[in-house]
Structure 1
Amino acid sequence: MSSPDRRLVLLGALALGACGFTPVYGPAGQGGLLLNAVALPEPENRNEYDFNMRFEERMGRGTGPYALTRALRVNETGLGSLSDGQTTRYQLTGRAQYVLTLAGGSEPLISGHTDAFTGYSAAGSSVSQQASSRDAHSRLMVLLADQVIDRLLIDADQLPR
């Protein structure tokens, strides 16, 4: 096996530094402002609970200066079917619209939306179908929460210090 040439690694690091790359959690990065600083609204359903759980898992439970409002939408579409018309596969498409504000404020600091999809098999017993559906919804909320977090971290340089 060949090991990478150290010169290439050093040149790569210099190129990243020259283009203005700043690690989001580094000393000059703004991402640290969001850790344990974003309050979420209380969940009203299972999807919102799963979204909040993943968001707090990555960003911490926020009690700080920011508040995130989010609207989650999920559509379910049957994809595969048997000759008798029974659907065997479903696709879930989801959208998360989000707005980050100062807690108690209404002026948007960062806003946007993100989309994701997943699917599940509906073959088997009704219990396994319900478990597959619940798991797919949970996976979709994890995807959406991760994408919202990534977008917030990318746009964190817009936040006031």
Structure 2
Amino acid sequence: MWWSETSPGPTRRGTLAALAAVLVASACEFTPVYAPGGQGAALSGNVDVAFQNGNVEFSLGQALQDRLGPPQSPRYRLSYTLRTRSERVAITTAQSTNQFNLIGVATYQLVDTSTGGVAMSGRVDGFSSYNSSGISVSTQAAERDGYDRLTVILADKIMSRLIAGPELSR
């Protein structure tokens, strides 16, 4: 904590620590991702997501598009493939499964549309879980929710890689 528990304002030591953190960040040429000229600005509104067929695949594309914003003047095209599988995790003594893990692996490729060159590519993975109640309607709803959470996890990981990747031209 950079302020004292007993005083209402920041302490001298806390102020110096905050100032030191700012100086260190500026010395390493820290640039906020979504600031003008940052990597997030290069992606925002400049990426056309190549949606895939299938409910889960489409959901991943939608999650990516939500993070990238609608393409206004797309400079890049983001394509992806998604593989998922379900694993039984918790099995009762009666041999019925009451919990599943959903495992997903997504590969992605960001292509510069003006040159056709690959700007970035990679692979991310993640998992989500859901419980089976034994009632088919609620189990199906839990499974859909599990896949939705999985696509959000994978989209967030892809975005983290894109933002932390090599600098893109604007």
Fold shared by both chains (TM-score > 0.5): yes
Aligned equivalent of 1:121: 131
- 1:52 equivalenced with 2:61 (yes/no): yes
- Between the aligned partners of 1:130 and 1:147, the Cα distance in structure 2 is 26
Partner of 2:20: 11
Give the counterpart letter for 1:87 in structure 2: T
Which residue of the partner structure matches residue 155 of structure 2? 145
| 1:124 CA drift (Å) | 3.5
| Shift, 1:31, TM fit | 2.1
Bigger shift: residues 24-33 or 87-96: 24-33
TM-score of the two chains, using structure 1 as the length reference = 0.91
Q: Is the 8 A contact 1:75 1:93 kept in 2?
A: yes
Once residues 98 and 39 of structure 1 are traced to their aligned partners in structure 2, the CA distance between those partners, rounded to angstroms, is 13
Amino acid in the other structure paired with 1:25: Y
- Secondary structure, in 3 states, of the residue corresponding to 2:94? coil
User: What amino acid sits opposite 1:112 in the alignment?
Assistant: G
CA offsets, 1:103-159, max 9 Å, x none? Answer: 2754211000111111010123111100000000010001101110111111151x2
Q: What is the SS of the residue equivalent to 1:22? A: coil
Relative to the length of structure 2, the TM-score reads: 0.87
CA distance in 2, matches of 1:53, 1:136: 16
Q: Which residue of 2 aligns with 1:101?
A: 111
**Structure 1 segments (4+ residues) deviating >6 Å:** none
RMSD: 1.7
CA distance in 1, matches of 2:49, 2:60: 10
Show the counterpart of 1:71: 81
Whether the 8 Å CA contact 1:95–1:116 is kept in 2: the answer is yes
Q: Is the contact between residue 42 and residue 169 of structure 2 (CA under 8 Å) also seen in structure 1?
A: no
8 A Cα contact 2:59 2:148, kept in partner: yes
The percent identity for this pair of structures is 32
Structure 1: give runs of 5+ residues left out of the alignment.
none
Unaligned runs of 5+ in 2: none
- CA distance in 2 between counterparts of 1:104 and 1:140 reads 32
Letter in 1 for 2:48: A
Task: Determine if the alignment matches structure 1 residue 136 to structure 2 residue 146.
Answer: yes
CA contact (8 A) 1:87 1:122 kept: yes
8 Å CA contact retained: 1:47, 1:141: yes
The higher relative CO (CA closer than 8 Å, separation ≥ 6) is in 1
Amino acid at match of 1:12: A
* 2:105 aligned counterpart, secondary structure: strand
In the alignment, is the contact (CA less than 8 A) between 1:90 and 1:121 conserved in 2? yes
Partner amino acid, structure 1, of 2:150: L
